[in-house]
Chains A and B, each alone.
Chain A
């Protein structure tokens, strides 16, 4: 009964229009498409606002959510994004319900029913992402589906926080819900809600409230569509929906057709497997021919006994974030955009593992794939009318910082500290710098939670929160800066903390056309501090940046400089740690950056003087920050000469390069070197 991965992948694309839908499309008068598409967007906006206002967990409150509208067969018509990936995979459990439960006598589907799902094997991303689905009936006819989805930061897994690094199989990952009917007559069934809440015993309140928030959002959307159908008729609604999907598909194909036929490749590397620092490779070969794009991930490292996997449909949904927010951002957020895309994801690679594999870290495991998508699409789009959409990769560190325990109000929590998560740097673009602290790599509209709010709700004091100097990828246009925040355990004796942040060894974010990738991110923790004494005394030497914290060490304690990636461990009252979010990739040769912009970066503390001098080769007065343009040109010309002097020919390069190899012990999970082919079987218990 469970759909196989091929079917799930196929389901992300729209089904062909039915004869009836084609007839219904004729009901649209001139102007109707424009007016009613906008009306749907307003419905979505309203449902999103309701969602955010009613929920409690931090990603929900940050707006890392989706609400969506789907055809009766489950094709995405429109969505509030939010999390584009959830809009795309939102189709799959609907298609499963439509195909499996609709005519099943013991389940069925009627007005007021509520379905609920979280299992990636039935179309989700990872089991943290809980989706509510509602059928939309008008005059007894099923005319649409609505949904609302958001990541729930607790799943009842073997570790708190829903994304256990130690998970070896899906059986370590807590609640995995195949699509079930969880309510009738517009009400949740309390016995089933209790089942979910009971499974989330580390954070029951969050589960209980957020389930209702999802339902309220999906139901408001349902009510609006019913009223639209009552006003305009069911056939009009069906025609409108299909027209939106077709417009998106036709617009996408038209644009692809204009681009240069060819093959584009990119490779990136991830530095974590399970709870260890190990090297794995993600590889993309993108073929563009005519009006079609083929995404071939052959060459990606094999599956492992870790939770860093995703299914092919989840990879495709993460790729869609780029497609819908850059390349086709002006087209409707609908399944039509995915119609011209084919995905080749070999069985047994980390993007297509055995069904027993753990995949609770699915979303962060896709960051490499997302980088590859942005880079290949940018190389494809440069010689096209879409040049302004060409960009280096977004930070893609996936700043998953998970805390749990009892907060200062005596309430059990297990949640993200979502500041870093929603403040990664954006990739530099062909015509401008990347946006600083732009948002969440899966959700461009995500906002960092208010610092005071974090302190009111959670057992942490935030010593500082700001842009992280020198975190951007340098270039003619620089990447957006990432951020830094220092959390201190407050009010309570201890809290649990783990971090899924990648990029202490090598970053999976790439620059473009000579722009540099951004810096790596170390982990900084200080135990047994004297922070409260200092605050009580009113000491004025508290650090105002992470750099100052570690270089001046005015806060006494046991400093630990390690990986930013951390297993679950105890932090006691007064212990503190730094969370960095990654900057975005740079664009173009740093020697072409306008010296005035470099001065501006200095003024805004985006870069250091060291970087201005050594990377940008700008001559300037360090007091007044006035650039000497003439001298700068001389310095830059000298650097160009130095490059030519130190550069070698391809043959000389190959001779030296082919002799090098990374240390054997980091290649345990890589697959064969260097092509990442499967070298062993994974036996899962």
Chain B
């Protein structure tokens, strides 16, 4: 589709539909004016030893302290690609990391006849 812009490794914005889409499978996530994370499948990885193998046990290992940090993983609900992850202290709000000026983006890439609402 000619109206898609690839914004990250895994996310496109469909400018006409104003939607975040998976770059790998095309799944339409959520409005491009929203935080794309709200349209993802989300997993809280509480046991970080599942990523960081450590022969050490106890309070200091090669994995972050589970009381200090958890990994929040954001997947494509359709194809399971991991779009992004965040290492956060438990309960810390997820970051709205990309908030594009959609009107400007449309202006830049769509033909002059496509006017913003």
Query: Which one of B75, B87, B94 lies within 8 Å of A506 (CB-CB)?
Result: B87
Contact B77 A644 (CB under 8 A): yes
Contact A261 B104 (CB under 8 A): yes
- What is the total number of residues of chain B having a CB less than 8 Å from a CB of chain A? 64
Contact A519 B63 (CB under 8 A): yes
Within A255-286, the residues touching B (CB, 8 Å) are 260-267, 269, 271, 279, 281
Cα A455 to Cα B85 in complex, Å, equals 42
- Give per-residue flags for B1-29: 1 if the beta carbon is below 8 A from chain A beta carbons, else 0: 00001111110000000000000000000
Interface residues on A, range: 35 or more
- Give per-residue flags for A615-651: 1 if the beta carbon is below 8 A from chain B beta carbons, else 0: 1000000000000000000000001111110111110
Cα A404 to Cα B57 in complex, Å, equals 32
Tell me which residues across on chain B come within 8 A of A516, comparing CB atoms: 51, 71, 85
B42 to chain A, nearest CB (A): 4
- The reply on A682 being an interface residue by CB < 8 A is no
- The reply on B115 being an interface residue by CB < 8 A is no
Task: Tell me whether A265 and B96 are in contact in the complex, defined as CB-CB below 8 angstroms, given that A659-B91, A661-B91 are known contacts.
Answer: yes
Tell me which residues across on chain B come within 8 A of A266, comparing CB atoms: 95, 97
Contact B87 A513 (CB under 8 A): no
How many A-B residue contacts, CB cutoff 8 Å? 196
Please name the residue on chain A nearest to B60 by beta carbon. Answer: A522
Please name the residue on chain A nearest to B107 by beta carbon. Answer: A261
Task: Tell me whether A265 and B40 are in contact in the complex, defined as CB-CB below 8 angstroms, given that A271-B68, A520-B64 are known contacts.
Answer: no
Within A488-530, the residues touching B (CB, 8 Å) are 504-507, 510-514, 516-517, 519-523
- The reply on B112 being an interface residue by CB < 8 A is no
Given contacts A260-B105, A267-B86, A382-B7, 20 further A-B contacts (CB under 8 A): A260-B104, A261-B101, A271-B68, A279-B89, A382-B9, A383-B6, A470-B52, A476-B9, A505-B68, A514-B10, A516-B85, A564-B60, A611-B53, A640-B80, A643-B75, A647-B43, A647-B77, A648-B43, A659-B91, A662-B92
5 smallest beta-carbon distances between A and B, as pairs:
A640-B80, A647-B41, A660-B91, A660-B90, A262-B100
On A, residues with C-beta under 8 Å from B are 260-267, 269, 271, 279, 281, 289, 379, 382-383, 430, 470, 474, 476, 504-507, 510-514, 516-517, 519-523, 547, 550-551, 561-564, 587-592, 608, 610-611, 614-615, 639-644, 646-650, 652-653, 656-663, 666, 674
Would you mind naming 21 contact pairs between A and B with Cβ atoms under 8 Å apart? A260-B104, A260-B105, A261-B104, A262-B98, A267-B95, A382-B8, A511-B85, A513-B84, A561-B60, A562-B60, A615-B51, A640-B81, A643-B82, A647-B42, A648-B41, A650-B38, A652-B42, A656-B44, A660-B91, A662-B67, A662-B90
